[in-house]
Amino acid sequence: MSKTQNRKTARPIAAMVFRLPFMIDCEEFEAFIVDYLEENLSKHQRVKFDLHLKLCRKCRDYLQSYKATMELTKAQTDIPFSKMGMGDVPEDLIKAVLAARK
Amino acid sequence: MDYQDVDRKAEGLAAMGMTLTSDEVSHLVSTHSDWMLGAAFRILRDRAHAEDAVQVAFTKIWSKYGEFEGRSALQTWMHRVVVNEALMTLRKIKRRNEHSIDDLLPVFDKSGCRVELEDNTPATPEVLLSRRQTNDYVRDAIMTLPDRYRIVLCLRDIEGFSTIETSEALELSEANVKVRLHRARAALKTLLEPHIKGQKL
């Protein structure tokens, strides 16, 4: 089954709710995510973001997966070359670096 | 003497304008080259180029050691040097064909509602990280992203650069850094979705 065929159909009630005052739709929510995670949203934006988050299960699930992805990415930070499955640091490189010091 | 001892001594000597003995230099190189090569490889996706970047980075570290003066942690300083060198190398080498990530980005219907795949039940990162070969899978997924998104993701989410530092290093506006970062995370999320859902890889 293709990705498109597997998607859920539109949600007319949710769409109506998201058009109410002080509400944002999922697309606007999406645009706020980076600033939300860095705590850079204004008070007004934060209220709208939190309200949408409370009402939209899809965006809650999305944000949770997004955060899980970030955690998995951050876990790459401490992985040295020797743990990347391509062998150790070549001796030639270490010798060349030391030779350049002399 | 462990590498933290060597680092502390190197920081102290630099602050006093003194230099390391050849044994200490050997120790410094052998203990730091592994993570430095890892950082360079993440940016360059190419072993030979990464090795070249590390070699040039060490040359710069030796030549600028007198300017280091122990004001920051030695490893932090060395990290910036090797990442900057890898970025310079990346600018010089011919880029690979960059493909679109549009198919990996979120989709919204005409009303602005999120259209997502069924059965989107996230697992916690702690559970995911305990799974075998998760790190290899994540690294491979990151490596498939086009450079324009991958490098921003590497600098921000792996190498610990701030938005401002990333915008300066890549000569992009802060707004552009944020857009690329978000798209990179969103695309990566789609690539990791089977894993996040707990399916067997």
Span A15-59, pLDDT tens digits? 777 777 778 999 999 999 999 999 999 999 999 999 999 999 999
Q: Which residue would you say has higher pLDDT here, B42 or B122?
A: B42
Mean pLDDT of B154-164: 97
Indicate the range of A77-86, A91-100, B40-49, B64-73 predicted with least confidence: B64-73
According to the model, what pLDDT value does residue B192 have? Answer: 93
Let me know if residue B23 belongs to a domain. yes
Let me know if residue B172 belongs to a domain. yes
- Residue A82: its chain B contacts at CB < 8 A? 34, 38
CB–CB of A101 and B58 under 8 A?
A: yes
Inform me whether the pLDDT recorded for B124 exceeds 80.
no
According to the model, what pLDDT value does residue B27 have? Answer: 86
Q: Which of A 1-60 lie inside 8 A of B, CB atoms?
A: 3, 6-8, 10-12, 14-15, 18-19, 25-30, 33-35, 38, 56, 58-59
Q: What is the CATH number of the domain that holds B20?
A: 1.10.1740.10
Inform me whether the pLDDT recorded for B128 exceeds 80.
no
* Total-model pTM: 0.83
Question: What total number of domains does chain B contain?
Answer: 2
Inform me whether the pLDDT recorded for B11 exceeds 90.
no
How far apart (Å, rounded) are the C-alpha atoms in residues B162 and B50?
Answer: 23
- Residue B188: its chain A contacts at CB < 8 A? 69, 73
Same domain, B181 and B114: yes
Mean pLDDT of A60-69: 95
Q: Which residue would you say has higher pLDDT here, B43 or A15?
A: B43
Partner residue opposite B142 with nearest CB, options A59, A73, A101: A73
- Residue A89: its chain B contacts at CB < 8 A? 30, 33-34, 37
According to the model, what pLDDT value does residue B7 have? Answer: 66
According to the model, what pLDDT value does residue B71 have? Answer: 59
Mean pLDDT of B116-127: 57
Same domain, B17 and B53: yes
Indicate the range of A74-78, B18-22, B118-122 predicted with least confidence: B118-122
Q: Which residue would you say has higher pLDDT here, A93 or B117?
A: A93
Partner residue opposite A73 with nearest CB, options B55, B110, B138: B138
Q: Which helix (H) or strand (E) holds A60?
A: helix A57-74
According to the model, what pLDDT value does residue B3 have? Answer: 55
Whole-complex ipTM:
0.84
The token duo for B100 is 């679109």
Inform me whether the pLDDT recorded for B112 exceeds 70.
yes
Cβ-contact B191, A3 below 8 angstroms = no
Same domain, B13 and B50: yes
Mean pLDDT of A93-102: 88
Same domain, B86 and B118: no
Same domain, B31 and B106: no
Q: Where are the domains of chain A?
A: 12-101
Partner residue opposite A10 with nearest CB, options B113, B186, B195: B113
According to the model, what pLDDT value does residue B130 have? Answer: 54
- Residue B196: its chain A contacts at CB < 8 A? 65, 68-69
How far apart (Å, rounded) are the C-alpha atoms in residues A10 and B17?
Answer: 67
- Percentage, residues of chain B above pLDDT 90: 53
How far apart (Å, rounded) are the C-alpha atoms in residues B6 and B22?
Answer: 12
Q: Which residue in chain B is spatially nearest to A4 when comparing CA positions? A: B117
Nearest to B31 by CA among B78, B63, B84: B78
Which of B23, B111, B191, B199 should be substituted to probe chain A, the one whose Cβ sees the most A Cβ atoms within 10 Å?
B111
Q: Which residue in chain B is spatially nearest to A77 when comparing CA positions? A: B158
According to the model, what pLDDT value does residue B15 have? Answer: 52
According to the model, what pLDDT value does residue B200 have? Answer: 43
Q: Please, what is the end-to-end C-alpha distance for chain B in angstroms?
A: 42
Inform me whether the pLDDT recorded for B154 exceeds 50.
yes
Same domain, B141 and B191: yes
Let me know if residue B201 belongs to a domain. no
Containing domain of residue B180, as a range? 102-196
Q: What is the CATH number of the domain that holds B131?
A: 1.10.10.10
Inform me whether the pLDDT recorded for A7 exceeds 70.
no
CB–CB of A34 and B115 under 8 A?
A: no
According to the model, what pLDDT value does residue B199 have? Answer: 44
A72 reaches B (C-beta below 8 A): yes
- Given B92, B124, B146, the domain boundary residue is B92
Looking at the complex, report in whole angstroms how far the Cα of residue B71 sits from the nearest Cα belonging to chain A.
Answer: 22
Cβ-contact A69, B192 below 8 angstroms = yes
Which of A62, A72, A86 should be substituted to probe chain B, the one whose Cβ sees the most B Cβ atoms within 10 Å?
A72
Q: Which residue would you say has higher pLDDT here, B3 or A67?
A: A67
Indicate the range of B3-12, B24-33, B95-104, B170-179 predicted with least confidence: B3-12
How far apart (Å, rounded) are the C-alpha atoms in residues A68 and B133?
Answer: 16
- Residue B124: its chain A contacts at CB < 8 A? 68
Q: Taking all residues of chain B, what is their mean pLDDT, rounded to a whole number?
A: 83
